[in-house]
């Protein structure tokens, strides 16, 4: 998903044109918005003696402040037999800490008028955030400090068992008992070898969650939930004279910590394969084609985002127009580049009409991909895609939390929160020939994984 910041999941859907794309007669390099016009987010970044990174983004336009803590651990750093631990721990951090009390975190924030209180886990990180009135900034810092430094006294077998049950039920609701949930898991198993962390869902496997012990959870906390593996971002209406004092007051006394070593994981390109699965919950047939592609921000990552937009980004896109509008063979078409830390995936998914011919749909899919590999896209398609990404990127900066998440994301991936222009330039500097070369290199049929989902009651 792109630009890079969209991976945070905070960018609203929709497209707002930021400039008028000049399609006719232009060079193939897309430059719809000059870098000098990119949004600038003033910030300060520094590190406490214990290793905690701090990013301060001052904005006094509204009397609110967003507090956003990222722990740099997600499901991509888990090991076989202990899948789902990062997500399980996200749940545990809302159960209470030493000075806050059991199950009091949400109650305290509700009492002070907080909004957007939550946490989330993906393959790269786990985050916790709240938006509070600016006069309650210290309350939010105290809550995040307490669960960073004083969670262990509240970790009990009872609370662990409770949250394991909650997470397993969440898996049932999101994967096991929903249409195409089985397909999602089967596709990951086809794409990645045994032992690769992307083979498993963020929620984890039932047996791993059931086997999790209190010692396992304590060990996970002591390894990953240390100041040196976290970044605290504060965005909004704060006072320059006191913000650093408050951060030091609530986080500065934690002991010096060491950032855990992360081993780079290589992802082999899978051999071409095809599998058909039946789904008790699906009502329509679905075809997904998937490839392993370059990691986030690597060469080719942006070009694959552009390819996804050309294929299925709008009603005017190639596959959507052909399959949904012209031939009426499909109910829906999607394409996306999921950009991750170690490697990415490019997927095209088609949900068929009940009377559609599967072979005809797959031929149209294959022809569309091969055309991208052999022929350059048009200047208009490139310009439209770049304008879309620029608009989405800018829209994602409207809220305080959106800005905090954006700088957190850039900081984690690039080590520099000031990377809006760096990110967008990947798209603006793309060329139609570069897009073709990327498709030829990464979307080869010899490395394509194909999954067909059939309703359990028969083809529909």
Q: What is the pLDDT along the chain (460 residues), one digit of tens a residue?
A: 555 544 333 322 222 222 222 222 233 333 444 566 899 999 999 999 999 999 999 999 999 999 999 999 999 999 999 999 999 999 999 999 999 999 899 999 999 999 999 999 999 999 999 999 999 999 999 999 999 999 999 999 999 999 999 999 999 999 999 999 999 999 999 999 999 999 999 999 999 999 999 999 999 999 999 999 999 999 999 999 899 999 999 999 999 999 999 999 999 999 999 999 999 999 999 999 999 999 999 999 999 999 999 999 999 999 999 999 999 999 999 999 999 999 999 999 999 999 999 999 999 999 999 999 999 999 999 999 999 999 999 999 999 999 999 999 999 999 999 999 999 999 999 999 999 999 999 999 999 999 999 999 766 5
3 state SS of 2: coil
Identify the pLDDT of residue 31.
45
In contact, 117 and 193? CB cutoff 8 Å: no
Please provide the size of the chain in residues.
Answer: 460
At 238, list the tokens: 């704060």
3 state SS of 52: coil
In contact, 407 and 52? CB cutoff 8 Å: no
CATH topology of domain 4-11+266-455: Cytochrome Bc1 Complex; Chain A, domain 1 (3.30.830)
Within the chain, what is the greatest distance between any pair of CA atoms?
68
Identify the pLDDT of residue 51.
98
- Enumerate residues 6+ apart whose C-beta is below 8 A from 286: 180, 183, 349, 350, 351, 352, 452, 453
Identify the pLDDT of residue 192.
97
Question: 4-11+266-455 and 52-251: same fold?
Answer: yes
Identify the pLDDT of residue 29.
39
Identify the pLDDT of residue 460.
53
Residue written as token pair 């609370």? 159
CATH topology of domain 52-251: Cytochrome Bc1 Complex; Chain A, domain 1 (3.30.830)
Q: Report the DSSP pairing between strands 273-279 and 330-338.
A: unpaired
Measured CA to CA in angstroms, residue 37 lies from 91, 387, 392, 421, 428 at distances of 41, 14, 15, 9, 13
Question: How far is CA 427 from its chain centroid?
Answer: 19
* Other residues' Cβ atoms within 10 Å of the Cβ of residue 10: 22
Domain boundaries, the chain: 4-11+266-455, 52-251
E-state strands within 2-157: 44-47, 53-58, 64-71, 96-97, 101-102, 115-121, 126-133
At 227, list the tokens: 């100041």
């Amino acid at each position: 998903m792109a630009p890079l910041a969209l991976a945070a999941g905070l960018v609203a859907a929709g497209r707002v044109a930021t400039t008028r794309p000049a399609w006719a007669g232009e060079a193939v390099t897309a430059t719809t918005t000059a870098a000098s016009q990119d949004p600038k987010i003033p910030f300060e970044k520094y590190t406490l003696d214990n290793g905690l990174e701090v990013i301060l983004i001052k904005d006094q336009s509204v009397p609110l402040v967003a507090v956003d803590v990222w722990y740099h651990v997600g499901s991509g750093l888990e090991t076989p037999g202990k899948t789902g631990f990062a997500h399980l721990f996200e749940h545990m951090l809302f159960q209470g800490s030493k000075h806050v009390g059991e199950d009091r975190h949400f109650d305290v924030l509700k009492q002070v008028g907080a909004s957007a209180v939550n946490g989330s886990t993906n393959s790269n990180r786990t985050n916790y955030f709240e938006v509070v009135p600016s006069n309650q900034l210290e309350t939010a810092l105290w809550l995040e400090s307490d669960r960073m430094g004083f969670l262990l006294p509240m970790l009990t077998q009872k609370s662990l068992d409770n949250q394991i049950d909650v997470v397993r039920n969440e898996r049932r609701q999101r994967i096991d008992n929903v249409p195409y949930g089985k397909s999602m898991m089967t596709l990951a198993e086809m794409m990645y070898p045994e032992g690769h962390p992307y083979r498993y869902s963020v929620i984890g496997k039932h047996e791993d969650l059931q086997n999790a012990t209190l010692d396992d959870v304590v060990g996970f906390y002591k390894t990953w939930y240390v100041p040196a593996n976290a970044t605290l971002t504060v965005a909004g209406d704060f006072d320059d004279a006191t913000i650093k004092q408050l951060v030091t007051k609530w986080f500065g006394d934690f002991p010096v910590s060491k950032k855990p070593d992360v081993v780079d994981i290589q992802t082999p390109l899978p051999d071409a394969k095809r599998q058909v699965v039946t789904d008790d919950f699906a009502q329509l047939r679905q075809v997904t084609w998937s490839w392993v592609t370059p990691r986030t921000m690597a060469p080719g990552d942006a070009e694959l985002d552009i390819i996804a937009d050309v294929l299925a980004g709008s009603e005017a896109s190639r596959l959507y127009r052909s399959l949904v509008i012209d031939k009426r063979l499909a109910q829906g078409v999607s394409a996306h580049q999921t950009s991750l830390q170690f490697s990415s995936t490019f997927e095209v998914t088609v949900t068929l009409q009940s009377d559609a011919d599967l072979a005809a749909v797959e031929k149209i899919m294959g022809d569309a991909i091969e055309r991208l590999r052999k022929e350059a896209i048009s200047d208009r398609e490139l310009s439209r895609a770049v304008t879309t990404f620029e608009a989405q990127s800018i829209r994602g900066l409207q809220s305080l939390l959106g800005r905090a998440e954006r700088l957190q994301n850039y900081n984690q991936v690039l080590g520099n929160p000031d990377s809006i222009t760096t990110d967008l330039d990947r798209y603006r500097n793309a060329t139609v020939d570069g897009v073709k070369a990327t498709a030829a290199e990464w979307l080869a049929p010899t490395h394509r994984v194909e999954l067909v989902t059939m309703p359990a009651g028969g083809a529909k």
